[in-house]
């Protein structure tokens, strides 16, 4: 409606503007400046790129830890994201077919997402995967020797990945919604042409929902690069640093260790990495995403 | 929405004004410590007693669990909002810039005469005494008699060879039990340095702040650990027991593990989780190479009371803090209340109070027995010119990973003794000097 | 049997096989999803450190539940009860949800329904910040909140809600871009006819929002509020960074420290965990009808 007081939109946007300036722009810029200093007690001195040099000096302990964390985080991300996408899409597809009691199933798949991020559940996960925990006892029933999940690098990583993949519910709901929006007419036409269900899935369903796949992939990517709760509470970065993801290392150095400047430098590297991969995915989307319009 | 914001701002301002007006005055002492239930209960009781005896003062006690205490303290020191009196670990005096932020206790007028002459040397920087020693501590063994008795062993081992023999017996007679059990990287590291101190007579870190052991010596220590693992003393790999917390480890509480290695001041956590602990848990000191030796004993000040530099600004405050600290460390009733949970004080008056106490038999407590052995062995070593005091940066958060990380990988079976030893040797000196400069 | 009948029977068999396959997949999956939760309920009634795979408790005991609320849980003498921890959690969850929902709603409304210079820029910034990782903000904000000037505002405060200010302050200023995004998407699906009709009757923008559009917005508001609630209730790193005295520990900080005291058996731990999780379940089911209703079209068909 034109002619109304011009200042109304701006006034109403003041909270967001303050939010953006104070809680986004300011910390974004400040974190870069913080990374250029080093602090001893109450004194800060400008050191230029020394913090970054420390991070990339593999011969030093900090550098070694940083590189390890990069590797660990990449492992986690590139295991978890594809798994989530595949599992949630599959289950969403099955649910989109005519299923009795779909409401029950939908809720039960979504439950872990709601509860799973809770600290209580994270701790439960550790108890489940301990050497004499629930899973090993279950294996014992089948006569399988206990596996040391938390004592081996692969096992520990698997435990954390599993915790996140267990919570595929929200991604599944988004896929479910997208699947519903694929026009029935396309399927009908394909059936008439003689294509079976599997063929239809790969030639119709998937291409039609590629925008949603893109959306989910990017959202999950950004989120998994910043994982914290699992590695912190279940494995505490172990065993032998095999699950010390970047966010955990940043926490240990910046907050537990008190070196905010080095932490800021690490956050910046993490940020650049996330932005890089997000950009890569978006760039690649030209080749595989089909938009409706 | 606008009204919302306005109201919110008004409320915030009002409430923050209320919060700001709460200032600590000269008659209020804020006191921060870390601990578990027992210590907290005792400390609060002592505080109540203090307020009764000295009604002109008030104490604000701030209990805290161990985890996160250091971070919070560090944070508050950076802003100048730390408590007036706070409990610190010995090495924090260095890593938290105590020389800048802690008060010189000489200035407070405390009586140091009842402490051993060199007790406070490690706590003194640039001539300023930055912490009042609460107790000294050493890393020693405690054994669960029951595990040994179940395997038919009546005389507890005193040397490493006897320990290994016991381990073999235990694993044969009672499979699934171990002479010691699961030790984590921190404990195994300490055991290695103690072992090496016995075989080489050297401290881990020399006066030039460098690694004192050679590569071969460290490999030897790792091989020694392997011997312990293959003879039923230690579990063969830390991968088969991933329960990180010692006292609540089901294998400890169900008495499959026969022993622990721990600061003698921290043994009560393990005591509390054992059934019948007063009968079964025994102080075993440090295993020796040969019978009747007294070697391989490190020690350090376990914890200290530090005072904020702020306190120095007001004479009245100084008086209050002095009274409080003296009360907590030397007042007979307070001493009996606090007991030996923070270790056995080196103050001779305090020790006398504890000895004569009729409430509890402190002298027979595991902490006290451990304390006696630590002191005895350490003094004996001094006669042999071996100075095994723990270096102030040994337990520094980032530095300790230099030795604990390779040890952990070794314990998990991921790397060999040679690789682990090489890792330690490569990084040790450079990291230590980097930490000490910063 | 005729050829046709045989074919019919075959295809029926094929169909049944497919049905069985379909259902077994999801039943198995659902079982794996839910069994850990079922197990934790059973374990809270179970005495003994070693719990078995089967969820039914072997040594039935109520001690875990009875002590869950009152026993000194985490090394304290005053026995800070679980309710205290719950209240601490609410002290930052409630403002977060209330302020977060309202501020993002208003922002989305302005951006979609009003015209003004710079709208494209603001829109781009909102979408841009959608993908920005949180870590980059944490450290400077921590330095900000713990700086000598700002810290007295909230640290050690005895007023309600204030000790947790750093955790929820952002919500007042619509920092949650995802919520704004959800509102924007939803607004786009609402035709402007209703708005136009209201303007004809002389209403201004805010009146349109609150009186005309609000009923339609109810589902999405509940959805956003629910998502904000879940996210903030489960937040661990936030309270961890800003933790203060033990009496202010929220559930996220209390639960990990349980089990380290010799007075706690596993039954205690699980009982308390369930209490913490029940809040989530209750809130979820309350808001669920709106939530599921949000995918209203698809949900009804399913």
Kindly write down the DSSP assignment for every residue of A202-247, as one continuous string: IIIIHHHHHHHHHHHHHHHHHHHTT--HHIIIIITT-STTTT--HH
Nearest by CB: B15 against C148, C162, C244: C162
With contact defined as 3+ CB pairs under 8 Å, the chains touching C are: A, B
Range of the structural domain that residue B433 is part of: 139-296+372-437
Instruction: Looking at the structure, tell me whether residues B246 and B383 fall in a common domain.
Output: yes
In a domain, residue A39? The reply is no
Is C73's pLDDT higher than 50? no
Question: Residue B20: its pLDDT value, please?
Answer: 45
C93-123 pLDDT, tens per residue? 999 999 999 999 999 999 988 888 888 999 9
Question: Residue C264: its pLDDT value, please?
Answer: 56
Contact between C153 and B269 using a beta-carbon 8 Å cutoff: no
Return per-residue pLDDT of chain B as tens, 438 residues: 555 556 666 665 665 554 444 445 788 999 999 987 778 888 999 999 999 999 999 998 888 878 778 888 888 888 788 899 999 999 999 888 888 899 999 988 898 999 999 999 999 999 999 999 999 999 999 999 999 999 999 999 999 999 999 999 999 999 999 999 999 999 999 999 999 999 999 999 999 999 999 999 999 999 999 999 999 999 999 988 888 888 888 888 889 999 999 999 888 888 888 887 677 899 999 999 999 899 999 999 999 999 999 899 999 999 999 999 999 999 999 999 999 989 999 999 999 999 999 888 898 899 999 999 999 999 999 999 999 999 999 998 888 989 999 999 999 989 999 999 999 999 899 889 988 886
Contact between A40 and B398 using a beta-carbon 8 Å cutoff: no
Which of A17, A19, A151 best probes binding to B when mutated, by most B CB atoms within 10 angstroms? A151
Considering only residues C35 and B4, tell me which one the structure prediction assigns the higher pLDDT: C35
Contact between A131 and B241 using a beta-carbon 8 Å cutoff: yes
Instruction: Looking at the structure, tell me whether residues B256 and B398 fall in a common domain.
Output: yes
In a domain, residue B98? The reply is yes
For residue A8, give the chain B residue with the closest CA. B2
Instruction: Looking at the structure, tell me whether residues B149 and B221 fall in a common domain.
Output: yes
CATH 1.10.3720.10 positions along chain C are 72-301
- CA quadruple B272, B273, B275, B280: dihedral positive or negative? negative
Is residue B236 less than 8 Å (CB to CB) from chain C? Answer: no
Question: Residue C290: its pLDDT value, please?
Answer: 65
Instruction: Looking at the structure, tell me whether residues B111 and B143 fall in a common domain.
Output: no
Is residue B4 less than 8 Å (CB to CB) from chain C? Answer: yes
Instruction: Looking at the structure, tell me whether residues B40 and B143 fall in a common domain.
Output: no
- Number of independent structural domains in chain A: 1
Is residue A266 less than 8 Å (CB to CB) from chain B? Answer: no
For residue B44, give the chain C residue with the closest CA. C77
Contact between C243 and B72 using a beta-carbon 8 Å cutoff: yes
Is residue A67 less than 8 Å (CB to CB) from chain B? Answer: no
Q: What is the 3-state secondary structure (H, E, C) of B31-100?
A: EECCCCHHHHHHHHHHHHHHHHHCCCCEEEEECCCCCCHHHHHHHHHHHCCCCCEEEEECCHHHHCCHHH
Nearest by CB: B79 against C72, C76, C146: C146
Is residue A153 less than 8 Å (CB to CB) from chain B? Answer: yes
Q: Tokens in use for B270?
A: 């393990």
CATH fold, domain C72-301, is: MetI-like fold (1.10.3720)
Nearest by CB: B101 against A41, A60, A253: A41
Contact between B15 and C152 using a beta-carbon 8 Å cutoff: no
Residue C130 φ/ψ, nearest 5 degrees: -60, -40
For chain A, give the mean pLDDT. Answer: 87
Is C48's pLDDT higher than 60? no
Give A182-202 as a DSSP string.
S-HHHHHHHHHTT--HHHHII
| Chain B nearest C-alpha distance from A63 (Å) | 12
| Chain A nearest C-alpha distance from C136 (Å) | 5
Picking from B364, B383, B416, the residue at the C-terminal end of a domain is: B364
DSSP character for B103?
P
A15-38 pLDDT, tens per residue? 999 999 999 999 999 999 999 999
**Average pLDDT in the C166-182 region?**
90
Question: Residue B80: its pLDDT value, please?
Answer: 81
Nearest by CB: C74 against B18, B44, B65: B65
Find the range with the poorest average confidence among B389-393, B417-421, C9-13, C47-51.
C47-51
DSSP character for B105?
G
Question: Residue A1: its pLDDT value, please?
Answer: 46
Q: How confident is the model at residue C66 (pLDDT cuts 50, 70, 90)?
A: low
For residue C99, give the chain B residue with the closest CA. B4
Highest mean pLDDT among A205-219, B183-197, C134-148: B183-197
Is residue A44 less than 8 Å (CB to CB) from chain C? Answer: no
Closest CA to A123 of C73, C274, C250: C274
Is C188's pLDDT higher than 60? yes
Instruction: Looking at the structure, tell me whether residues B173 and B309 fall in a common domain.
Output: no
Nearest by CB: C139 against A102, A105, A267: A267
List chain A residues with CB under 8 Å of C174.
15-16, 19
Closest CA to B178 of B274, B244, B259, B253: B259
| Chain A nearest C-alpha distance from B401 (Å) | 9
A85-98 pLDDT, tens per residue? 999 998 888 888 77
Contact between B67 and C257 using a beta-carbon 8 Å cutoff: yes
CA distance A265 to A76: 22
List chain C residues with CB under 8 Å of B37.
72, 75-77, 261, 263
**Chain A 77-116, CB below 8 Å of chain C: which residues?**
91, 94-97, 99, 102-103, 105-109, 111-112, 114-115
Nearest by CB: C136 against A123, A218, A267: A267
Contact B287, B224 (CB under 8 A): no
A109-167 pLDDT, tens per residue? 888 888 888 888 888 888 888 887 778 887 888 888 888 888 888 999 999 999 999 88
Instruction: Looking at the structure, tell me whether residues B292 and B429 fall in a common domain.
Output: yes
> What is the maximum alpha-carbon separation in chain C?
91
In a domain, residue B266? The reply is yes
**Average pLDDT in the C141-157 region?**
86
In a domain, residue B170? The reply is yes
- For position B237, which CATH number holds? 3.40.190.10
Nearest by CB: B36 against C75, C153, C259: C75
Contact B57, B317 (CB under 8 A): no
Which residues of B sit within 8 Å Cβ distance of A?
1-2, 5, 68, 70-71, 74-75, 77-78, 80, 96-97, 100-101, 237-244, 250, 397-398, 401-402, 405, 408-409, 412, 414, 427, 430-431, 434, 438
| Separation in Å, CA B51 to CA A23, B28, B32, B48, B56 | 45, 10, 16, 5, 8
Question: Residue A111: its pLDDT value, please?
Answer: 80
In terms of residues, how long is chain C?
A: 302
Question: Residue A189: its pLDDT value, please?
Answer: 86
CA distance C242 to B76: 12
Quote the percentage of chain A above a pLDDT of 70. Answer: 98
- For position A143, which CATH number holds? 1.10.3720.10
| Chain B nearest C-alpha distance from C8 (Å) | 57
List chain C residues with CB under 8 Å of B44.
77
In a domain, residue B81? The reply is yes
SS3 assignment, position B281? strand
CA distance B32 to B59: 10
Give C241-296 as a DSSP string.
HT---GGG--HHHHHHHTTSSTT--HHHHHHHHHHHHHHHHHHHHHHHHHHHHHTH
Which of C46, C151, C261 best probes binding to B when mutated, by most B CB atoms within 10 angstroms? C261
Nearest by CB: C77 against B19, B44, B72: B44
Question: Residue C167: its pLDDT value, please?
Answer: 92
Picking from B364, B380, B414, the residue at the C-terminal end of a domain is: B364
A235-261 pLDDT, tens per residue? 888 788 899 999 999 999 898 878 899
Contact B98, B126 (CB under 8 A): no
Question: Residue C59: its pLDDT value, please?
Answer: 62
Is residue A144 less than 8 Å (CB to CB) from chain C? Answer: no
With contact defined as 3+ CB pairs under 8 Å, the chains touching A are: B, C
Contact between A236 and B244 using a beta-carbon 8 Å cutoff: yes
Contact between C133 and A270 using a beta-carbon 8 Å cutoff: yes
Contact between B412 and A152 using a beta-carbon 8 Å cutoff: yes
Contact between A270 and C52 using a beta-carbon 8 Å cutoff: no
In a domain, residue B8? The reply is no
Range of the structural domain that residue A135 is part of: 61-288
Considering only residues A221 and C84, tell me which one the structure prediction assigns the higher pLDDT: A221
Instruction: Looking at the structure, tell me whether residues B101 and B211 fall in a common domain.
Output: no
CA distance B148 to B165: 12
Instruction: Looking at the structure, tell me whether residues B189 and B240 fall in a common domain.
Output: yes
CA distance B39 to B338: 7
Q: How many contacts, defined by CB atoms under 8 Å, are there between B and C?
A: 85
List chain A residues with CB under 8 Å of C106.
12, 15
In a domain, residue B176? The reply is yes
| Chain C nearest C-alpha distance from B249 (Å) | 9
CA distance B258 to C166: 47
Is C33's pLDDT higher than 90? no
In a domain, residue B399? The reply is yes
Instruction: Looking at the structure, tell me whether residues B351 and B431 fall in a common domain.
Output: no
Question: Residue C103: its pLDDT value, please?
Answer: 93
Nearest by CB: C122 against A13, A137, A270: A13
Nearest by CB: A240 against B2, B237, B408: B408
Question: Residue C299: its pLDDT value, please?
Answer: 30
Closest CA to A93 of A250, A192, A205: A205
With contact defined as 3+ CB pairs under 8 Å, the chains touching B are: A, C
Is residue A61 less than 8 Å (CB to CB) from chain B? Answer: yes
List chain C residues with CB under 8 Å of B79.
146-148, 151
C204-218 pLDDT, tens per residue? 778 778 888 888 888
| Chain C nearest C-alpha distance from B377 (Å) | 32
Is A170's pLDDT higher than 60? yes
- Number of independent structural domains in chain B: 2
Question: Residue A228: its pLDDT value, please?
Answer: 93
In a domain, residue B352? The reply is yes
Considering only residues C247 and B378, tell me which one the structure prediction assigns the higher pLDDT: B378
For chain C, give the mean pLDDT. Answer: 79
Question: Residue A25: its pLDDT value, please?
Answer: 94
C269-291 pLDDT, tens per residue? 777 778 788 888 888 888 777 65
In a domain, residue A171? The reply is yes
- CA quadruple B238, B241, B243, B248: dihedral positive or negative? negative
């Amino acid at each position: 409606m034109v002619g109304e007081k011009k200042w109304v939109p701006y006034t109403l946007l003041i909270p967001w503007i303050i939010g953006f300036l104070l809680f986004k722009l300011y910390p974004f810029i400040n974190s870069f400046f913080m990374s250029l200093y080093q602090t001893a007690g109450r004194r800060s001195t400008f050191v230029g790129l020394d913090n970054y040099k420390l991070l990339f000096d593999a011969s030093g302990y900090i550098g070694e830890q940083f590189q390890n964390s990069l590797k660990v985080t990449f492992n986690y991300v590139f295991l978890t994201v594809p798994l989530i996408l595949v599992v949630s899409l599959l289950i969403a597809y099955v649910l989109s077919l005519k299923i009795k009691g779909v409401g029950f199933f939908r809720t039960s798949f979504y439950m872990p997402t709601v509860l799973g991020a809770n600290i209580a559940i994270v701790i439960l996960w550790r108890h489940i995967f301990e050497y004499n925990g629930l899973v090993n006892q279950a294996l014992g029933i089948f006569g399988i020797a206990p596996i040391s999940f938390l004592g081996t690098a692969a096992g520990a990583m698997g435990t954390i990945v599993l915790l996140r993949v267990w919570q595929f519910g929200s991604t599944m709901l988004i896929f479910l919604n997208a699947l519903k929006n694929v026009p029935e007419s396309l399927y009908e036409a394909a059936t008439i042409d003689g294509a079976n269900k599997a063929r239809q899935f790969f030639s119709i369903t998937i291409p039609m929902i590629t925008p949603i796949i893109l959306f989910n992939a990017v959202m999950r990517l950004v989120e998994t690069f910043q994982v914290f709760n699992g590695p912190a509470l279940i494995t505490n970065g172990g065993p032998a640093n095999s699950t010390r993801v970047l966010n955990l290392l940043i926490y240990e150095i910046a907050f537990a260790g008190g070196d905010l400047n080095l932490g800021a430098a690490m956050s910046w590297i993490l940020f650049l990495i996330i932005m890089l991969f997000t950009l890569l995915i978006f760039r690649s989307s030209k080749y595989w995403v089909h938009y409706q319009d | 929405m606008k009204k919302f914001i306005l109201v919110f701002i008004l409320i915030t301002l009002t409430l923050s004004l209320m919060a700001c007006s709460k200032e600590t005055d000269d008659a209020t002492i804020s006191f921060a410590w870390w601990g578990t239930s027992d210590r907290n209960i005792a400390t609060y009781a002592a505080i109540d007693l203090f307020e009764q005896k000295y009604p002109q003062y008030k104490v604000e006690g701030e209990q805290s669990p161990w985890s996160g205490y250091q971070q919070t303290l560090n944070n508050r020191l950076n802003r100048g909002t730390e408590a007036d009196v706070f409990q610190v670990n010995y090495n924090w005096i260095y890593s938290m810039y105590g020389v800048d932020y802690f008060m010189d206790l000489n200035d407070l007028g405390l009586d140091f005469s009842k402490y051993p002459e060199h007790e406070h040397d490690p706590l003194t920087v640039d001539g300023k005494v930055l912490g009042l020693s609460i107790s000294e501590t050493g890393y020693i063994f405690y054994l669960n008699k029951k595990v040994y008795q179940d395997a038919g062993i009546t005389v507890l081992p005193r040397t490493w060879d006897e320990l290994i023999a016991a381990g073999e017996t235990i694993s044969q007679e009672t499979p699934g039990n171990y002479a010691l059990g699961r030790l984590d990287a921190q404990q195994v590291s300490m055991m290695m340095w103690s072992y090496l101190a016995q075989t080489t007579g050297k401290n881990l870190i020399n006066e030039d702040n460098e690694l004192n052991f050679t590569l071969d010596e460290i490999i030897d220590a790792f091989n020694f650990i392997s011997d312990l693992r293959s003879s039923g003393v230690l579990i063969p790999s830390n991968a088969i027991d991933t329960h990180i917390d010692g006292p609540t480890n089901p294998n400890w509480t169900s008495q499959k593990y026969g022993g622990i290695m721990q600061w003698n001041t921290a043994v009560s956590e393990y005591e509390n989780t054992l059934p019948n602990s007063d009968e079964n848990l025994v102080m075993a000191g440090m295993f020796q190479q040969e019978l009747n030796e007294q070697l391989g004993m490190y020690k350090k000040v376990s914890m200290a009371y530090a005072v904020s530099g702020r306190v120095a600004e007001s004479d009245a405050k100084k008086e209050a803090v002095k009274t409080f600290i003296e009360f907590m460390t030397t007042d007979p009733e307070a001493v009996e209340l606090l007991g030996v949970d923070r270790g056995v004080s080196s103050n001779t008056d305090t020790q006398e109070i504890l000895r004569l106490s009729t409430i509890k038999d402190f002298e027979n407590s595991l902490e006290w027995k451990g304390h006696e052995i630590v002191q005895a062995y350490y003094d004996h070593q001094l006669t042999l010119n071996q100075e095994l005091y723990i270096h102030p940066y040994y337990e520094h958060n980032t530095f300790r990973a230099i030795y604990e990380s390779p040890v952990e990988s070794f314990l998990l079976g991921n790397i060999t003794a040679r690789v682990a030893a090489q890792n330690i040797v490569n990084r040790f000196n450079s990291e230590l000097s980097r930490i000490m400069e910063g | 049997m005729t050829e046709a009948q045989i074919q019919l029977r075959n295809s029926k068999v094929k169909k049944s096989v497919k049905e069985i396959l379909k259902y077994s997949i999801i039943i198995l999956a659902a079982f794996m999803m839910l069994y850990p939760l079922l197990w934790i309920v059973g374990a809270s009634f179970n005495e003994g450190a070693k719990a078995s795979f089967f969820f039914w408790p072997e040594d039935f005991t109520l001690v875990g539940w009875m002590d869950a609320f009152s026993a000194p849980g985490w090394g304290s003498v005053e026995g800070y009860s679980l309710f205290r921890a719950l209240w601490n959690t609410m002290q930052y969850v409630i403002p977060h949800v209330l302020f977060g929902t309202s501020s993002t709603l208003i922002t989305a409304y302005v951006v979609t329904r009003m015209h003004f210079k710079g709208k494209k820029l603001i829109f781009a910034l909102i979408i841009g910040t959608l993908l920005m990782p949180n870590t980059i903000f944490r450290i400077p904000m921590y330095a900000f909140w713990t700086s000598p000037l700002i810290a007295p505002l909230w640290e050690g405060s005895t007023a309600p809600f204030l000790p947790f200010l750093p955790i929820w302050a952002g919500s007042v200023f619509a920092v949650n871009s995802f919520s704004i995004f959800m509102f924007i998407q939803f607004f786009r699906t609402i035709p402007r006819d209703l708005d136009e009709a209201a303007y004809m009757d002389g209403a201004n923008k805010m009146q349109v929002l609150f009186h005309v559009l609000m009923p339609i917005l109810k589902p999405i508001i509940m959805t956003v509020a629910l998502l904000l609630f879940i996210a903030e209730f489960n937040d661990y790193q936030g309270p961890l960074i800003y933790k203060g005295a033990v009496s202010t520990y929220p559930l996220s900080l209390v639960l990990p420290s349980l089990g380290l005291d010799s007075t706690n058996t596993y039954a205690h731990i699980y009982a308390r965990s369930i209490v913490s999780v029940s809040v989530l379940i209750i809130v979820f089911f309350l808001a669920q009808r709106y939530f599921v209703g949000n995918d209203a079209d698809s949900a009804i068909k399913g």
